Copies of this chain bind each other. A is one copy, B any other.
Amino acid sequence: MPDTDGSHGSHEGAFEIAHPHRELLDQVLDKWSLSVLGELCERPCRFNELRRAIPAVTQKSLTATLRRLERNGIVERVLLSSRPVAVEYRITPLGKTMRPPVEVLLEWAAAHMPEIERARRAFDLE
Protein backbone atom coordinates (compact mmCIF):
# COMPACT_ATOMS: atom_id res chain seq x y z
CA MET A 1 0.00 0.00 0.00
CA PRO A 2 1.51 3.27 -1.12
CA ASP A 3 2.62 5.28 1.82
CA THR A 4 2.32 8.64 0.20
CA ASP A 5 4.08 10.60 2.85
CA GLY A 6 6.50 8.47 4.70
CA SER A 7 6.96 10.97 7.47
CA HIS A 8 6.67 8.52 10.28
CA GLY A 9 6.73 5.21 8.57
CA SER A 10 3.92 2.91 7.68
CA HIS A 11 2.03 0.51 9.85
CA GLU A 12 2.64 -3.16 9.70
CA GLY A 13 -0.27 -5.02 8.22
CA ALA A 14 -1.79 -6.09 11.49
CA PHE A 15 -5.19 -4.63 10.79
CA GLU A 16 -4.71 -4.61 7.07
CA ILE A 17 -7.81 -5.46 5.12
CA ALA A 18 -8.63 -3.89 1.84
CA HIS A 19 -8.46 -6.81 -0.51
CA PRO A 20 -9.03 -10.43 -0.08
CA HIS A 21 -10.03 -10.72 3.53
CA ARG A 22 -12.60 -8.01 3.31
CA GLU A 23 -14.22 -9.81 0.42
CA LEU A 24 -14.15 -13.11 2.27
CA LEU A 25 -15.83 -11.63 5.32
CA ASP A 26 -18.50 -10.14 3.09
CA GLN A 27 -19.27 -13.58 1.76
CA VAL A 28 -19.28 -15.32 5.05
CA LEU A 29 -20.65 -12.75 7.49
CA ASP A 30 -23.48 -11.45 5.36
CA LYS A 31 -27.01 -10.91 6.49
CA TRP A 32 -28.16 -14.52 6.85
CA SER A 33 -24.99 -16.55 7.04
CA LEU A 34 -24.59 -16.46 10.80
CA SER A 35 -28.13 -17.65 11.36
CA VAL A 36 -27.64 -20.48 8.90
CA LEU A 37 -24.33 -21.43 10.42
CA GLY A 38 -25.87 -21.37 13.83
CA GLU A 39 -28.48 -23.89 12.80
CA LEU A 40 -26.13 -26.14 10.90
CA CYS A 41 -23.68 -26.15 13.76
CA GLU A 42 -26.27 -27.91 15.82
CA ARG A 43 -27.52 -30.39 13.29
CA PRO A 44 -27.73 -31.05 9.57
CA CYS A 45 -30.82 -29.42 8.14
CA ARG A 46 -33.12 -29.79 5.20
CA PHE A 47 -33.93 -26.72 3.18
CA ASN A 48 -37.35 -26.12 4.63
CA GLU A 49 -36.10 -26.94 8.05
CA LEU A 50 -33.81 -23.97 7.73
CA ARG A 51 -36.64 -21.81 6.49
CA ARG A 52 -38.67 -22.69 9.53
CA ALA A 53 -35.73 -22.13 11.83
CA ILE A 54 -35.10 -18.71 10.33
CA PRO A 55 -38.55 -17.42 9.57
CA ALA A 56 -37.47 -14.02 8.35
CA VAL A 57 -35.45 -15.31 5.43
CA THR A 58 -37.00 -15.72 2.01
CA GLN A 59 -36.49 -18.72 -0.25
CA LYS A 60 -34.39 -16.70 -2.60
CA SER A 61 -32.08 -15.33 0.03
CA LEU A 62 -31.74 -18.65 1.76
CA THR A 63 -30.80 -20.33 -1.50
CA ALA A 64 -28.30 -17.60 -2.26
CA THR A 65 -26.80 -17.82 1.20
CA LEU A 66 -26.46 -21.58 1.03
CA ARG A 67 -24.89 -21.43 -2.42
CA ARG A 68 -22.40 -18.84 -1.31
CA LEU A 69 -21.48 -20.79 1.79
CA GLU A 70 -21.21 -23.94 -0.25
CA ARG A 71 -18.94 -22.24 -2.75
CA ASN A 72 -16.67 -21.13 0.05
CA GLY A 73 -16.52 -24.62 1.45
CA ILE A 74 -18.37 -23.70 4.63
CA VAL A 75 -21.40 -25.89 4.12
CA GLU A 76 -21.98 -29.04 2.16
CA ARG A 77 -25.02 -29.89 0.08
CA VAL A 78 -25.96 -33.55 0.30
CA LEU A 79 -28.49 -35.10 -2.03
CA LEU A 80 -30.39 -37.65 0.01
CA SER A 81 -32.83 -38.86 -2.59
CA SER A 82 -33.73 -37.79 -6.05
CA ARG A 83 -37.20 -39.21 -6.36
CA PRO A 84 -38.97 -36.85 -4.13
CA VAL A 85 -36.03 -34.51 -4.08
CA ALA A 86 -34.45 -34.41 -0.67
CA VAL A 87 -31.45 -32.35 0.24
CA GLU A 88 -29.58 -31.91 3.43
CA TYR A 89 -27.14 -29.19 4.34
CA ARG A 90 -24.27 -29.83 6.68
CA ILE A 91 -21.50 -27.76 8.06
CA THR A 92 -18.06 -28.77 6.86
CA PRO A 93 -14.92 -29.10 8.97
CA LEU A 94 -13.82 -25.78 7.51
CA GLY A 95 -17.16 -24.34 8.47
CA LYS A 96 -16.70 -25.48 12.03
CA THR A 97 -13.50 -23.49 12.30
CA MET A 98 -15.59 -20.37 11.90
CA ARG A 99 -17.34 -20.91 15.17
CA PRO A 100 -14.75 -19.63 17.61
CA PRO A 101 -14.13 -16.35 15.81
CA VAL A 102 -17.84 -15.79 15.43
CA GLU A 103 -18.50 -16.61 19.05
CA VAL A 104 -15.88 -14.12 20.11
CA LEU A 105 -17.52 -11.52 17.94
CA LEU A 106 -20.96 -12.23 19.32
CA GLU A 107 -19.71 -12.15 22.85
CA TRP A 108 -18.21 -8.78 22.17
CA ALA A 109 -21.50 -7.56 20.74
CA ALA A 110 -23.46 -8.89 23.67
CA ALA A 111 -21.09 -7.48 26.23
CA HIS A 112 -21.00 -3.98 24.78
CA MET A 113 -24.51 -3.60 23.48
CA PRO A 114 -25.66 -1.49 26.43
CA GLU A 115 -22.74 0.85 26.12
CA ILE A 116 -23.32 1.15 22.40
CA GLU A 117 -26.97 1.90 22.84
CA ARG A 118 -26.08 4.60 25.29
CA ALA A 119 -23.67 6.07 22.78
CA ARG A 120 -26.35 6.02 20.10
CA ARG A 121 -28.90 7.76 22.24
CA ALA A 122 -26.36 10.41 23.21
CA PHE A 123 -25.41 10.94 19.58
CA ASP A 124 -28.98 11.06 18.32
CA LEU A 125 -29.91 13.59 20.93
CA GLU A 126 -27.75 16.32 19.44
What is the CA–CA distance of A73 and B116 in the complex, to the nearest angstrom?
6
Q: Is the CB of B15 within 8 A of A102?
A: yes
Q: Which of A94-122 contact B (CB under 8 A)?
A: 94, 97-110, 112-113, 115-116, 118-120, 122
Q: Is the CB of A113 within 8 A of B24?
A: yes
Q: Is A59 on the interface with B (CB-CB < 8 A)? A: no
What is the CA–CA distance of A98 and B122 in the complex, to the nearest angstrom?
20
What is the CA–CA distance of A110 and B18 in the complex, to the nearest angstrom?
13
Q: Is the CB of B6 within 8 A of A43?
A: yes
* Chain B residues with CB under 8 A of A98: 108
Which one, B38, B105, B115, B124, contacts A105 given CB within 8 A?
B105
Q: Is A85 on the interface with B (CB-CB < 8 A)? A: no
Copy number in the complex reads 2
Q: How far is the CB of A34 from chain B (nearest CB, A)?
A: 5
Q: How far is the CB of A8 from chain B (nearest CB, A)?
A: 8
Q: How far is the CB of A59 from chain B (nearest CB, A)?
A: 16
Considering the complex of A and B, which 6 residue pairs feature the smallest CB-CB distances, nearest first? A73-B119, A15-B38, A101-B108, A71-B123, A21-B109, A17-B34
Q: Is the CB of A22 within 8 A of B4?
A: no
Q: Is the CB of B25 within 8 A of A105?
A: yes
